[in-house]
Protein backbone atom coordinates (compact mmCIF):
# COMPACT_ATOMS: atom_id res chain seq x y z
CA UNK A 1 0.00 0.00 0.00
CA UNK A 2 1.24 3.47 -0.83
CA UNK A 3 1.55 6.17 1.75
CA UNK A 4 2.52 9.80 1.29
CA UNK A 5 5.45 9.26 3.61
CA UNK A 6 8.48 11.28 4.57
CA UNK A 7 11.78 9.41 4.36
CA UNK A 8 14.19 9.95 7.32
CA UNK A 9 16.90 11.25 4.93
CA UNK A 10 14.50 13.49 3.06
CA UNK A 11 16.43 16.50 1.71
CA UNK A 12 13.22 18.53 1.74
CA UNK A 13 11.83 18.29 5.27
CA UNK A 14 8.07 18.48 5.40
CA UNK A 15 7.59 17.25 1.82
CA UNK A 16 6.48 13.63 1.53
CA UNK A 17 8.86 11.65 -0.69
CA UNK A 18 6.04 9.90 -2.55
CA UNK A 19 4.33 13.19 -3.33
CA UNK A 20 7.68 14.68 -4.38
CA UNK A 21 8.17 11.69 -6.70
CA UNK A 22 4.73 11.91 -8.32
CA UNK A 23 5.17 15.64 -8.94
CA UNK A 24 8.53 14.92 -10.61
CA UNK A 25 6.79 12.28 -12.75
CA UNK A 26 4.05 14.76 -13.66
CA UNK A 27 6.73 17.34 -14.57
CA UNK A 28 8.21 14.83 -17.02
CA UNK A 29 4.71 14.23 -18.37
CA UNK A 30 4.30 17.98 -18.96
CA UNK A 31 7.39 17.82 -21.18
CA UNK A 32 6.07 14.73 -22.98
CA UNK A 33 2.80 16.42 -23.95
CA UNK A 34 4.56 19.75 -24.65
CA UNK A 35 6.67 17.95 -27.26
CA UNK A 36 3.56 16.49 -28.87
CA UNK A 37 1.72 19.84 -28.84
CA UNK A 38 4.83 21.63 -30.22
CA UNK A 39 4.99 19.08 -33.06
CA UNK A 40 1.26 19.60 -33.70
CA UNK A 41 1.76 23.38 -33.99
CA UNK A 42 4.66 22.97 -36.44
CA UNK A 43 2.81 20.42 -38.58
CA UNK A 44 -0.49 22.29 -38.58
CA UNK A 45 1.13 25.69 -39.16
CA UNK A 46 3.23 24.33 -42.02
CA UNK A 47 0.48 22.26 -43.66
CA UNK A 48 -0.78 23.41 -47.05
CA UNK A 49 -4.35 22.72 -46.01
CA UNK A 50 -6.11 21.84 -42.77
CA UNK A 51 -9.78 20.99 -42.31
CA UNK A 52 -12.07 23.27 -40.29
CA UNK A 53 -11.92 21.18 -37.13
CA UNK A 54 -15.30 22.28 -35.78
CA UNK A 55 -16.86 20.86 -38.98
CA UNK A 56 -14.84 17.63 -39.20
CA UNK A 57 -14.89 16.68 -35.51
CA UNK A 58 -17.95 16.04 -33.37
CA UNK A 59 -17.36 18.96 -30.99
CA UNK A 60 -20.68 18.71 -29.06
CA UNK A 61 -20.01 15.02 -28.33
CA UNK A 62 -16.45 15.72 -27.20
CA UNK A 63 -17.59 18.75 -25.18
CA UNK A 64 -19.85 16.31 -23.34
CA UNK A 65 -16.89 14.00 -22.87
CA UNK A 66 -14.85 16.93 -21.53
CA UNK A 67 -17.64 17.56 -19.05
CA UNK A 68 -17.49 13.89 -17.98
CA UNK A 69 -13.74 14.18 -17.34
CA UNK A 70 -14.28 17.34 -15.28
CA UNK A 71 -16.97 15.56 -13.24
CA UNK A 72 -14.50 12.68 -12.71
CA UNK A 73 -12.03 15.19 -11.26
CA UNK A 74 -14.74 16.30 -8.83
CA UNK A 75 -15.48 12.71 -7.76
CA UNK A 76 -11.73 12.05 -7.39
CA UNK A 77 -11.16 15.10 -5.19
CA UNK A 78 -14.27 14.21 -3.16
CA UNK A 79 -12.85 10.72 -2.58
CA UNK A 80 -9.78 12.40 -1.11
CA UNK A 81 -11.90 14.79 0.96
CA UNK A 82 -14.01 11.87 2.21
CA UNK A 83 -11.07 9.83 3.52
CA UNK A 84 -9.56 12.98 5.01
CA UNK A 85 -12.77 13.22 7.01
CA UNK A 86 -12.56 9.49 7.87
CA UNK A 87 -15.52 8.61 5.61
CA UNK A 88 -14.53 5.20 4.19
CA UNK A 89 -17.85 4.61 2.44
CA UNK A 90 -17.84 8.00 0.76
CA UNK A 91 -14.26 7.47 -0.43
CA UNK A 92 -15.11 4.07 -1.93
CA UNK A 93 -18.19 5.42 -3.71
CA UNK A 94 -16.32 8.38 -5.13
CA UNK A 95 -13.37 6.24 -6.28
CA UNK A 96 -15.72 3.82 -8.05
CA UNK A 97 -17.60 6.78 -9.62
CA UNK A 98 -14.28 8.16 -10.88
CA UNK A 99 -13.33 4.83 -12.48
CA UNK A 100 -16.78 4.51 -14.11
CA UNK A 101 -16.55 8.07 -15.50
CA UNK A 102 -13.05 7.29 -16.82
CA UNK A 103 -14.40 4.20 -18.61
CA UNK A 104 -17.32 6.24 -20.04
CA UNK A 105 -14.81 8.83 -21.31
CA UNK A 106 -12.82 6.08 -23.03
CA UNK A 107 -16.00 4.55 -24.49
CA UNK A 108 -17.06 7.87 -26.00
CA UNK A 109 -13.55 8.39 -27.37
CA UNK A 110 -13.66 4.90 -28.93
CA UNK A 111 -17.03 5.78 -30.53
CA UNK A 112 -15.61 9.08 -31.83
CA UNK A 113 -12.56 7.31 -33.27
CA UNK A 114 -14.62 4.60 -34.96
CA UNK A 115 -16.96 7.24 -36.47
CA UNK A 116 -13.99 9.16 -37.90
CA UNK A 117 -12.42 5.98 -39.28
CA UNK A 118 -15.74 5.00 -40.90
CA UNK A 119 -15.86 8.44 -42.52
CA UNK A 120 -12.39 7.81 -43.99
CA UNK A 121 -10.10 9.69 -41.60
CA UNK A 122 -7.36 7.46 -40.20
CA UNK A 123 -3.90 8.09 -38.77
CA UNK A 124 -2.41 7.64 -42.24
CA UNK A 125 -4.96 9.67 -44.25
CA UNK A 126 -3.29 13.06 -43.83
CA UNK A 127 -1.41 15.26 -41.33
CA UNK A 128 -4.66 16.13 -39.58
CA UNK A 129 -5.45 12.44 -39.04
CA UNK A 130 -1.91 11.63 -37.89
CA UNK A 131 -1.76 14.42 -35.34
CA UNK A 132 -5.36 13.93 -34.17
CA UNK A 133 -4.98 10.22 -33.45
CA UNK A 134 -1.50 10.68 -31.92
CA UNK A 135 -2.53 13.41 -29.49
CA UNK A 136 -5.90 11.99 -28.46
CA UNK A 137 -4.45 8.45 -28.49
CA UNK A 138 -1.66 9.23 -26.06
CA UNK A 139 -4.13 11.00 -23.80
CA UNK A 140 -6.48 8.02 -24.02
CA UNK A 141 -3.59 5.75 -23.03
CA UNK A 142 -3.02 7.95 -19.98
CA UNK A 143 -6.70 7.72 -19.03
CA UNK A 144 -6.53 3.92 -19.49
CA UNK A 145 -3.48 3.80 -17.19
CA UNK A 146 -5.37 5.96 -14.72
CA UNK A 147 -8.40 3.65 -14.74
CA UNK A 148 -6.14 0.62 -14.13
CA UNK A 149 -4.46 2.49 -11.26
CA UNK A 150 -7.91 3.39 -9.92
CA UNK A 151 -8.86 -0.30 -9.82
CA UNK A 152 -5.71 -0.90 -7.77
CA UNK A 153 -6.58 1.94 -5.37
CA UNK A 154 -10.24 0.80 -5.16
CA UNK A 155 -8.98 -2.70 -4.23
CA UNK A 156 -7.03 -1.23 -1.32
CA UNK A 157 -9.98 0.99 -0.36
CA UNK A 158 -12.34 -2.01 -0.26
CA UNK A 159 -9.87 -3.82 2.03
CA UNK A 160 -9.90 -0.81 4.34
CA UNK A 161 -6.22 -0.03 3.81
CA UNK A 162 -6.77 3.73 3.73
CA UNK A 163 -7.52 5.57 6.94
CA UNK A 164 -8.04 9.16 7.97
CA UNK A 165 -4.37 9.27 9.02
CA UNK A 166 -2.88 7.23 6.14
CA UNK A 167 -4.37 7.79 2.69
CA UNK A 168 -1.38 8.70 0.56
CA UNK A 169 -2.45 6.29 -2.18
CA UNK A 170 -5.69 8.20 -2.72
CA UNK A 171 -3.85 11.52 -2.81
CA UNK A 172 -1.26 10.29 -5.34
CA UNK A 173 -4.00 8.74 -7.47
CA UNK A 174 -5.83 12.06 -7.41
CA UNK A 175 -2.76 14.03 -8.50
CA UNK A 176 -2.30 11.79 -11.54
CA UNK A 177 -6.01 11.84 -12.41
CA UNK A 178 -6.26 15.63 -12.20
CA UNK A 179 -3.13 15.93 -14.34
CA UNK A 180 -4.80 13.83 -17.04
CA UNK A 181 -7.76 16.24 -16.80
CA UNK A 182 -5.44 19.26 -17.17
CA UNK A 183 -3.85 17.72 -20.29
CA UNK A 184 -7.31 17.18 -21.79
CA UNK A 185 -8.28 20.80 -21.07
CA UNK A 186 -5.44 21.90 -23.38
CA UNK A 187 -5.95 19.16 -25.98
CA UNK A 188 -9.67 19.92 -26.23
CA UNK A 189 -8.87 23.57 -26.97
CA UNK A 190 -5.97 22.93 -29.35
CA UNK A 191 -7.32 19.95 -31.29
CA UNK A 192 -11.10 20.54 -31.26
CA UNK A 193 -11.77 24.25 -30.87
CA UNK A 194 -8.93 26.15 -32.59
Partner 1 sequence: MTHTPTAHKPSYMRIFAFLAVLTVVEVTTAFTPMPKSAQVLFLVALAIAKATLVAMYYMHLRFEGRVLRLIAVGPLLFAIILTIAPFYDLALRR
- Residue closer to partner 1 by CB (options 61, 117) is 61
- Identify which range of 78-86, 115-123, 136-144, 145-153 contacts partner 1 by CB under 8 A: 78-86
CA dihedral of residues 149, 93, 69, 59 (deg, nearest 10): 130
Q: Is residue 5 within the footprint of partner 1 (CB under 8 A)?
A: no
Q: Which of 76, 110, 106 minimizes the C-alpha distance to 93?
A: 76
* Closest to partner 1 by CB, 36 or 117: 36
User: CA 55, 60, 62: angle at the middle one, nearest 5?
Assistant: 100
The answer for residues whose C-beta is within 8 angstroms of residue 138's C-beta and 6 or more apart is 32, 33, 36
Q: Which is nearer to partner 1, 122 or 138 (CB)?
A: 138
Whole-angstrom distance, CA of residue 12 vs CA of residue 3: 17
Distances, alpha carbon 57 to alpha carbons 122, 142, 191, in Å: 13, 21, 9
User: Counting contacts by CB under 8 A, is residue 23 touching partner 1?
Assistant: yes
- Does 128 contact partner 1 by CB under 8 A? no
- Does position 73 interact with partner 1 (CB under 8 A)? The reply is yes
How many CA atoms does the CB half-sphere of 161 hold within 13 Å? 14
Identified binder of partner 1 from the candidate list 102, 129, 146, 174, rule CB under 8 A:
174
Told to check if 74 binds partner 1 by CB under 8 A, we report yes
Q: Which helix (H) or strand (E) holds 56?
A: helix 53-56
Q: Interface mask (CB under 8 A) for partner 1, residues 36-55, using x and -? A: -xx--xx--xx-------x-
Closer to partner 1 at the Cβ: 11 or 120? 11
d(CA 92, CA 171): 14
Binding-site ranges for partner 1 (CB under 8 A): 4, 12, 14-16, 19-20, 23-24, 26-28, 30-31, 34-35, 37-38, 41-42, 45-46, 54, 59-60, 63, 66-67, 70-71, 73-74, 76-78, 81, 84, 174-175, 178-179, 181-182, 185-186, 188-190, 192-194
Amino acid sequence: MEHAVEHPNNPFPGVSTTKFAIWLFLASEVMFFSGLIGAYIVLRGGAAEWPIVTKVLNVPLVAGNTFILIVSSVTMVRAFAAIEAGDQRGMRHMLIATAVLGIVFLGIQAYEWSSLIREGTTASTNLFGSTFFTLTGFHGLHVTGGVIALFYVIGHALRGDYTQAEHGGVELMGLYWHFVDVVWIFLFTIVYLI
